[in-house]
Structure 1
Amino acid sequence: MKLKSFLIAGLTGLLTLSSCSKFLEEKSQSEVIPKTAVDYRELLTGSGYMTNDEPMGFLYFMDDDVDFFMEYANDESYVVGSYDARYNYLWYTWQPRLADRNGVGDLIAEDPSATAYFRYYKWIMGCNAVLDNIDNAVGSQQDKNRVKAEALAVRAMYYFRLANLYGEPYNRNPQSLCVPMKLNSGIVSGPTPQHTVAEVYTQVVNDLKEACRLMDPLPIARRDYHINQPAIHILLSRVYLYMEKWQESVAEADKAFEQGSKLADMTTLDTKSGTWLTYNNVEVEWVFGGNTQPNQTTYVPAATFLSTFDQQDARLRVGISISEQTFVPLLSKLPSGANLAQTIRASEALLNRAEANVQLGNLAPALKDLNDLRRKRITGYTDEAIADKATLLQAVREERRKEFCFECFRWFDLRRYGMPAISHRYKHELGGDLLQYKLKQGDPMYVLPFPASVIMRNTALQQNPSGIMADRVGEK
């Protein structure tokens, strides 16, 4: 049966977690209600999996890997005061209004569909519709288990992202308020309060463990744009890393390698960009979502970050190109346009395992993983010997930073590293002062404000402290 379209009538209800409409409703002869496991897999593909639109691409502007490109052949007008420079200014300088307006003054959140919060819950709704009905579908138990496992895994990823956008870091305050959870497509009346960070993480872990239980006995599929077994184990390894459950993180990373995940030798690539984060890379287990590096000609890799790369590191060649016009390093790491651009891949399993092993005091296997990765990234690399735990931990984390830069990893990692102080430079107009905007240690903005439009629709939501701060002022 060809699944042509579905109307999700309770979309606004999911955002407020209140609705009095049916979740799925047949509206015409051209719209088909799913009956088979294949139908539900199509529903999941169209309504549960991320599209090529990335809701949290704004994180690109917020971490310490990015800088504001201000000069072009000594002509500051190339960037200073330009539309792009102003448009993302609020994110780049961590302003409390960033959830509701863009830098050119447009109100962006009158309609909640413009927010990351809305988009993730929209996909959660699609997952819930599948999970509520797949057990009654026509098809083999294997086919139903695969669909159910996929829906659980991608829903878990969305809640993990929501928790790291709008909740405190798990390792800082797991009992603090996070986001509401909706785990079925049924109707809920009235405002719905938030769950705690610990409750959200518990659900994420349970969903991923159940997805593994259902899918691990099945044949492993690769390169079909559906999450597979190794990708689920890598994602669970990441969640355990954030929870500081080190042994569990190691175990899940091991399972990914047992299921065939492997590293690729980047030093042998003859391409400069465009194919690393695709299924052409044998490391990649899952490709999904949209580009996470917007405005790469206005906001560029920070010089201090670039200085951490070995000059023979192939990641410079594959991920960063020098503009022929400006001689400024520009990002070229992710596929552009309508292509899916995000991945879960084997290098994360290795780095998750290395970091967790350092924390466990297992320095020898952690160092082996670090050297194994560097050997496949740096031409002519010679294995390094590191005997000190703190030094090795820092080396692993710096390698993680280089491996996953501009892929929506760094901001979340900074949160779990203790929310360090960072600064961004910005100039508002030609001839104006070069200002430093500072994010202080433990700054409230490490937990993003809820958009006002979302709070208006769910009055039980409590605004985060970042949403009621005074405007952040730059310093000369």
Structure 2
Amino acid sequence: MKRMRLKIFMITAFAGLVTLSGCKKFLEEKSQSDVIPKTAIDYRELLMGSGYMDNSEPMGFVYFLDDDVDLFWEYANGEATVIGTNPAIQYFPLFTWQPRLADRNGLGDLIAEDPGSTAYFRYYKWIMGCNAVLENIDQSIGSQQEKDRVKAEALAVRALYYFRLVNLYGEPYTQNPQALSIPLKLNSGIVAGSMPQATVAEVYNRVVADLKEASRLMDALPIVRKDYHINQPAIHILLSRVYLYMEKWDESRAEADKVFEQGGQIANLTGYTTTWLNYNNPEVEWLFGGNTQPNQTTYVPSIPFRATFDPKDVRINVGIQVQDRSLTPLVSKLPIGLDLAQTLRTPEALLNRAEANVKLNNPGPALKDLNDLRRNRIIGYTDVNITDKDQLLQAIREERRKEFCFEGFRWFDLRRYGMPEITHRYQNALGESIQEFKLAAKDPMYTLPFPNSLLIRNPELKQNASGTMPERVGH
């Protein structure tokens, strides 16, 4: 029994993720309870507590990186409300893609001195929780169906974390699949020494393998919705996304089809007046994680992006609301407080399928999917007929941008689109010139630098080129 307890709760990070004192603290926290997992239900609860994301989001910082966000430029009573303020300065390194963005904020504060504060560490901590469950679930007490559901959930959730990590710290799959990315840790045991990095392709292959096995185990079981556990349609949405990033169009389309075969639906949301990132929305298959937007009033939806919405598109009214007094355009689609704020929902399957169909030279079904989604988002919408394939692809990608804005999609999508040039404007203080900062096409910063605290603790981690660039200067 003692050995069993150690095996379950020694979910320790490999060297390079935590120090020994960090491991000790983790073990002490986990050993407070005398409850030892025995049944499949116990392991499902352990997975929910140690493997599933809580109501935080480690990679919320990507909000500042893409082309949907801008510094607040509106004026109230003749005065700029945020230019030169601490919040504006704090996120300057992220907003202007500085090589120090992983280590210091614009105020000069160390932000990743403790590796436990990094997105890298936090995702791996949840991965370790998944690994512990996967190692022990087969020996638990319970029916095979109960064990299969727990195993499938652990595999799928772990796959999501690795997908995010490889898209933060590895090059885009279609650009350089053999580039080094992140370590693959597939068990909960202690590793003596540091761990080497796997290639981008190796991580993607593991993600696909985990999701395929998760769907094999779960598809034979009854579909359960709205219980905060990942379910069958959500797994197929995620697998469709991964295949899309790999440009495996047939596979992406096939996985998207399965979502609708399993009861996924596109709902008419033109009557919604509040956030639809919750289980009140029939499109939501899985609700999880925390807010993807760290700053509400300083870095706001950009004017060019807001201009792309049809005035009768409910997503602009529900998702981005301009405050009367300050004229500040705020992101209002995201829940506030401690509510869970992220979803896997059926519109992604529809748009994944539409994009794949264009690439497979099937523009008819792609156009139908595009019109179907718009009809359920834009009041009084009239179907369009787009005959040019390039224009249709662009329209589908713009629809994806609107549907999932500020949910952590855009930065990853820009990477897979070929890493285009984008710019941000920044002003240090009122009266000073406005500077333009450029992220060049295929810029190394599209692959983020590792925090130095991680490099110190894991000597086998090789810093990405973005971490050795000179300071980026505005013009």
* TM-score where L is the length of structure 1: 0.95
Amino acid at match of 1:415: R
Q: Is 1:265 matched with 2:248? A: no
**Using the alignment, how far apart are the partners of 2:347 and 2:158 within structure 1?**
23
Asked if structure 2 preserves the Cα contact closer than 8 Å seen for 1:85 and 1:298, the reply is yes
Amino acid at match of 1:180: P
Asked if structure 2 preserves the Cα contact closer than 8 Å seen for 1:10 and 1:19, the reply is no
TM-aligned CA deviation for residue 9 of structure 1: 4.5
Asked if structure 1 preserves the Cα contact closer than 8 Å seen for 2:65 and 2:97, the reply is yes
3-state SS of 2:49 partner: helix
Q: Which residue of 1 aligns with 2:447?
A: 447
Q: Is 1:180 matched with 2:180? A: no
Amino acid at match of 2:88: A
1:125-181 CA-to-partner distances (Å, cap 9, x unmatched) read 000000000000011110010000000000000000000000000011101111000
Asked if structure 2 preserves the Cα contact closer than 8 Å seen for 1:14 and 1:122, the reply is no
**Using the alignment, how far apart are the partners of 1:339 and 1:406 within structure 2?**
16
TM-aligned CA deviation for residue 268 of structure 1: 2.3
The change in CA–CA distance for 1:465 and 1:375 in structure 2 (over 3 A counts) is: same
Asked if structure 2 preserves the Cα contact closer than 8 Å seen for 1:230 and 1:259, the reply is yes
Amino acid at match of 2:131: N
**Using the alignment, how far apart are the partners of 1:25 and 1:295 within structure 2?**
34
**Using the alignment, how far apart are the partners of 1:195 and 1:154 within structure 2?**
19
Q: Is 1:368 matched with 2:371? A: no
3-state SS of 2:270 partner: helix
Q: Which residue of 1 aligns with 2:329?
A: 329
TM-aligned CA deviation for residue 405 of structure 1: 0.4
* TM-score where L is the length of structure 2: 0.95
Q: Is 1:83 matched with 2:79? A: no
Q: Which residue of 2 aligns with 1:305?
A: 305
3-state SS of 2:201 partner: helix
3-state SS of 2:356 partner: helix
The change in CA–CA distance for 1:10 and 1:145 in structure 2 (over 3 A counts) is: closer
**Using the alignment, how far apart are the partners of 1:295 and 1:28 within structure 2?**
36
The change in CA–CA distance for 1:239 and 1:132 in structure 2 (over 3 A counts) is: same
Asked if structure 1 preserves the Cα contact closer than 8 Å seen for 2:9 and 2:31, the reply is no
Amino acid at match of 2:127: I
Q: Which residue of 2 aligns with 1:148?
A: 151
Q: Which residue of 2 aligns with 1:412?
A: 412
- Deviates further, 437-446 or 14-23: 14-23
TM-aligned CA deviation for residue 88 of structure 1: 0.9
**Using the alignment, how far apart are the partners of 1:103 and 1:358 within structure 2?**
43
Q: Which residue of 2 aligns with 1:199?
A: 202
Amino acid at match of 1:473: V
Asked if structure 2 preserves the Cα contact closer than 8 Å seen for 1:448 and 1:464, the reply is yes
1:50-97 CA-to-partner distances (Å, cap 9, x unmatched) read 011100111111000001003432544420111111111111010000
TM-aligned CA deviation for residue 41 of structure 1: 0.6
Asked if structure 2 preserves the Cα contact closer than 8 Å seen for 1:70 and 1:76, the reply is no
TM-aligned CA deviation for residue 225 of structure 1: 0.5
**Using the alignment, how far apart are the partners of 1:34 and 1:24 within structure 2?**
15
Amino acid at match of 2:317: R
Asked if structure 1 preserves the Cα contact closer than 8 Å seen for 2:12 and 2:189, the reply is no
3-state SS of 1:142 partner: helix
Q: Which residue of 2 aligns with 1:288?
A: 288
Q: Is 1:348 matched with 2:351? A: no
- Deviates further, 62-71 or 441-450: 62-71
The change in CA–CA distance for 1:9 and 1:429 in structure 2 (over 3 A counts) is: farther
Q: Which residue of 1 aligns with 2:460?
A: 460
TM-aligned CA deviation for residue 16 of structure 1: 3.7
Amino acid at match of 1:35: K
Asked if structure 2 preserves the Cα contact closer than 8 Å seen for 1:18 and 1:191, the reply is no
Q: Which residue of 1 aligns with 2:237?
A: 234
Asked if structure 2 preserves the Cα contact closer than 8 Å seen for 1:11 and 1:125, the reply is yes
- Deviates further, 192-201 or 28-37: 28-37
Asked if structure 1 preserves the Cα contact closer than 8 Å seen for 2:14 and 2:195, the reply is no
| Runs of 4+, deviation exceeding 2 Å | 6-31, 74-77
Residue ranges of structure 2 left out of the alignment (5+ in a row)? 1-6
Q: Which residue of 1 aligns with 2:382?
A: 382
Q: Which residue of 2 aligns with 1:103?
A: 106
Amino acid at match of 2:394: Q
**Using the alignment, how far apart are the partners of 2:473 and 2:32 within structure 1?**
58
Asked if structure 2 preserves the Cα contact closer than 8 Å seen for 1:8 and 1:25, the reply is no
1:363-384 CA-to-partner distances (Å, cap 9, x unmatched) read 0000000000000001111111
Q: Is 1:428 matched with 2:431? A: no
The change in CA–CA distance for 1:339 and 1:185 in structure 2 (over 3 A counts) is: same
The change in CA–CA distance for 1:426 and 1:74 in structure 2 (over 3 A counts) is: farther
3-state SS of 1:257 partner: helix
Over aligned residues, Cα RMSD in angstroms?
A: 2.1
3-state SS of 1:96 partner: coil
1:208-228 CA-to-partner distances (Å, cap 9, x unmatched) read 000000000101011010000
The change in CA–CA distance for 1:17 and 1:81 in structure 2 (over 3 A counts) is: closer
The change in CA–CA distance for 1:104 and 1:26 in structure 2 (over 3 A counts) is: closer
The change in CA–CA distance for 1:307 and 1:213 in structure 2 (over 3 A counts) is: same
**Using the alignment, how far apart are the partners of 2:130 and 2:409 within structure 1?**
24
Asked if structure 2 preserves the Cα contact closer than 8 Å seen for 1:18 and 1:188, the reply is no
3-state SS of 2:76 partner: coil
Asked if structure 1 preserves the Cα contact closer than 8 Å seen for 2:84 and 2:429, the reply is yes
Amino acid at match of 2:334: L
Asked if structure 1 preserves the Cα contact closer than 8 Å seen for 2:449 and 2:465, the reply is yes
Q: Is 1:122 matched with 2:142? A: no
**Using the alignment, how far apart are the partners of 1:372 and 1:27 within structure 2?**
49
Q: Which residue of 1 aligns with 2:3?
A: none
Asked if structure 2 preserves the Cα contact closer than 8 Å seen for 1:152 and 1:208, the reply is yes
**Using the alignment, how far apart are the partners of 1:112 and 1:262 within structure 2?**
41
Asked if structure 1 preserves the Cα contact closer than 8 Å seen for 2:16 and 2:455, the reply is no
3-state SS of 2:125 partner: helix
Asked if structure 2 preserves the Cα contact closer than 8 Å seen for 1:278 and 1:343, the reply is yes
Question: Mapping of 1:8-27 within 5 angstroms?
Answer: 8-13=9-14, 15-16=16-17
1:385-432 CA-to-partner distances (Å, cap 9, x unmatched) read 111111110010000000000000000000000100000011111221
Query: Quick one: percent identity of the two aligned structures?
Result: 69
Q: Which residue of 1 aligns with 2:76?
A: 73
Q: Is 1:256 matched with 2:263? A: no
**Using the alignment, how far apart are the partners of 2:112 and 2:18 within structure 1?**
18
TM-aligned CA deviation for residue 314 of structure 1: 0.7
TM-aligned CA deviation for residue 28 of structure 1: 5.9
Q: Which residue of 1 aligns with 2:170?
A: 167
**Using the alignment, how far apart are the partners of 2:12 and 2:462 within structure 1?**
21
Asked if structure 2 preserves the Cα contact closer than 8 Å seen for 1:62 and 1:92, the reply is yes
- Deviates further, 295-304 or 212-221: 295-304
Asked if structure 1 preserves the Cα contact closer than 8 Å seen for 2:8 and 2:132, the reply is no
Residue ranges of structure 1 left out of the alignment (5+ in a row)? 1-5
**Using the alignment, how far apart are the partners of 1:198 and 1:65 within structure 2?**
29
